[in-house]
Structure 1
């Protein structure tokens, strides 16, 4: 069956009244999550995940994906109207979006942001539609050595491409692998790192950890910063949106360049935040109106928003086809798939054909629904930000506690949530990345199993990771990416030494 036929079948699955209602609810919840700085897309999806356990997997993933799209749009709203990025990936939007709003061009800025975001998301979904089948067929050639090489490549990509400190990234990955190994060893059956606590026999719940890291951690940081939500009042009008839509083709080069950047950073573990900053930097460098950047230049809004949403959409491709999430939110969704009894990877496309293509079709519909709803609800969600944080904060805490307790009904999980919340706060203060830690917690068991199976097959020889061209290429590329920061440093020092000579 071709990808087009599969997509048509997917629309039959997704285009039902029930799923459309789920999309609307998910987008509205996502916008709310996005506009509140104490939350965010990864935590919002995590908090909603326990409520999906009784749903069909395709309905559950449609709801979570719609929340994801809504959260990305919601972060743009606060960036432009309040100069407060609701999402980390919306930081670059504040540079020109807020100055435009202060100049009385809030409608123009919001319209540019939402329309370009919709374009970026659409391009990302088209890429998923075109490539997913081929990626899945390619991945069917994988056995345990290839899977370990892919997982190693995912971790190494964070070290070499994420832009964060390599030492801090490695520390986060090591902690994530350590947390993933707590409990019973799936191969030998022995207990590890339980320290005599019976509550740790079942391991550390991925959901509890993420709720603490993203929810409580962000809330503590927000309380410390004492944010005041003083912003620009705005009302998006139809005429203003139509004028912005008519002007958008003038920025076709920025749209295409940013979409390509976003797709690349989504498929690799760079993520939406890195994509938005990279796109903004390139737009400022190559624009003929570079002097206007930082003062209300439309291209400074269009570029990061396009890249942000293109990365957010395309991050679903490696998660579905290879079992490797390209962002923190897709890592949370991958955890959801595993909880629902689905195994992300190439076999997912054959074993759960309706699920995969129903999700892809819903991404088309969900992003259209998100653009329409976010344009219509800007005044409502802008007004929510004027509610005192003394009211919003306790509500966020209550949602986090309910979400953590729902996972297993254990009081111990609430203490774990608090510990991870403090850890997330410390990570943020010390500028340690959370996405590699989340990725390691999701992939830790699978990585260990693939490595041990490979060692059993090869009788302990590491040469198995170069036993054929595919696994050899993946392993070599992973090692090169892991060493990339060191190689870059050596090149810089050699260049400096030559100049001094």
Structure 2
């Protein structure tokens, strides 16, 4: 039970007054970010990441991860009270959360959402506690071919298992690879894609790209849509909480199914948004009263909220154990680790034990603190939406500009941020996904280095990716993921149509 003793050591790290204060501040900031429709978990973490440069890595990751948990909680507030999803994964919550609030039970809907979120995150953290060290020990056997095959699996999973147009996903990812290659080649020392601009010699900082793509891009979209907030007020007291908690155990099976769906979608590059929709559909399929869904059914809140938090938390497992993020926010946190001089992957559990287990312990405490904070401050955060968006938007843009300038202490970074903001806006308008671009931008250089090293090991032969059972199985799985949509179509055509069992009765051939 080494994991248990290491976890208690992590609690000792987190329980210091300074780190506990950062945890509470992070949760409050995260809820605020989740409430504002122009922001989001990845945006908030990216914008506030420069503030952590002067902190030690453990305190910094505790603050940023708690901002993430708070954003996951906060997205449900606007979804239920105003029918405006504060986060993409809160869209499914609006289907039954808003009708439930319209019926006068906003407090019960919010309590169900927050409690389900806590349960989903708790199950995912328990999984991380026991699986992350095993995955990390297994990954110690990895060499350059194995690492590249894992990167390849990540990229192919985004393409093959993504819900969007695969050509758009590939185009977005290709742009990310191109941006990742800008600057000085680490092997030859030659400049690539700088076009004579001195400011591009260092390449594009992923943080500038993320702030622009997510923060500025979302604000431009929101300003174009002209958001107007109208919704129900909410009051949560102890009586409402206890009444809702008495009802929730009836839906234990929905919570369990949604937790596993969320964990799977978090570890693979599915993310919280598909997990929430998938869990909503599964909950409706197995519900005793499926006709009530969409009209204020509490089970329609439990499913998506449990899955979204489980997915958001589980996305940190591959990031910690393999250095491969499972979500855009995890990709931003990965960049933060690299900035602090930490190398995510199997050796992190050996060289930075206090850091890893402090982070895992903060997941337990952070979600518990988040549940308490959110239940007591809902009216305060909901009232923020009474502020005109014309005031909120410039404030957010100013914060983004400050964060971008802090990265390199140069106005070039601010201009790059604005350019990326326009790119993010165009991507949103054309329905191109941003997550593959961010993933390729963060992992592109690392994947390139691993590929070059693998080619050196294999004498320039691509078959080095099938040189042993481990790397061969991962590479094969990657190709299977890449071509899965095509394989599924072929299988559907080959499979004979189902015979109508009642054809004979109706006299139909």
Q: TM-score range by the shorter chain?
A: over 0.9
Report the counterpart of residue 61 of structure 1 in structure 2: 61
Partner Cα separation in structure 2 for residue 162 and residue 54 of structure 1? 37
Report the counterpart of residue 296 of structure 2 in structure 1: 296
Report the counterpart of residue 318 of structure 2 in structure 1: 318
1:1-400 paired onto structure 2 within 5 Å? 2-400=2-400
Report the counterpart of residue 469 of structure 1 in structure 2: 469
Shift, 1:298, TM fit: 0.4
CA contact (8 A) 1:284 1:300 kept: yes
Partner Cα separation in structure 2 for residue 145 and residue 487 of structure 1? 26
Deviations 1:259-280 (A, max 9, x none): 0000000111101111101100
Deviations 1:168-218 (A, max 9, x none): 111111111111100001111110000110000000011110000000100
Shift, 1:492, TM fit: 3.5
Residues 103 and 497 (structure 1), Cα distance of their counterparts in 2 relative to 1, 3 Å cut: closer
Shift, 1:491, TM fit: 2.9
Report the counterpart of residue 435 of structure 2 in structure 1: 435
Shift, 1:495, TM fit: 5.3
Comparing 435-444 with 489-498, greater Cα deviation is found at 489-498
Deviations 1:90-113 (A, max 9, x none): 110000000000000101100000
Q: TM-score, normalised by structure 1?
A: 0.98
CA RMSD in angstroms comes to 1.3
SS of 1:385 mapped into structure 2 = helix
Gaps of 5+ in 1: none
Partner Cα separation in structure 1 for residue 37 and residue 491 of structure 2? 40
Partner Cα separation in structure 1 for residue 498 and residue 266 of structure 2? 37
Shift, 1:489, TM fit: 2.6
Partner Cα separation in structure 2 for residue 161 and residue 236 of structure 1? 40
CA contact (8 A) 1:219 1:393 kept: yes
Partner Cα separation in structure 1 for residue 468 and residue 62 of structure 2? 38
Report the counterpart of residue 488 of structure 1 in structure 2: 488
Partner Cα separation in structure 1 for residue 160 and residue 4 of structure 2? 36
Shift, 1:412, TM fit: 1.2
Partner Cα separation in structure 2 for residue 281 and residue 430 of structure 1? 27
CA contact (8 A) 1:93 1:300 kept: yes
Partner Cα separation in structure 2 for residue 151 and residue 18 of structure 1? 37
Deviations 1:362-411 (A, max 9, x none): 11000001000011110001000010111101101111111111100111
Gaps of 5+ in 2: 500-509
Shift, 1:490, TM fit: 2.6
CA contact (8 A) 1:120 1:310 kept: yes
CA contact (8 A) 1:268 1:326 kept: yes
Shift, 1:498, TM fit: 11
Report the counterpart of residue 504 of structure 2 in structure 1: none
Q: TM-score, normalised by structure 2?
A: 0.97
SS of 2:229 mapped into structure 1 = coil
CA contact (8 A) 1:162 1:274 kept: no
Shift, 1:459, TM fit: 1.2
SS of 1:332 mapped into structure 2 = helix
Comparing 167-176 with 256-265, greater Cα deviation is found at 167-176
Partner Cα separation in structure 2 for residue 487 and residue 221 of structure 1? 36
Aligned length: 500
Deviations 1:126-163 (A, max 9, x none): 00001011001000000000000000000011112221
Shift, 1:303, TM fit: 0.3
Report the counterpart of residue 507 of structure 2 in structure 1: none
Report the counterpart of residue 444 of structure 2 in structure 1: 444
Residues 40 and 462 (structure 1), Cα distance of their counterparts in 2 relative to 1, 3 Å cut: same
Deviations 1:233-265 (A, max 9, x none): 111111101111111110011000000000000
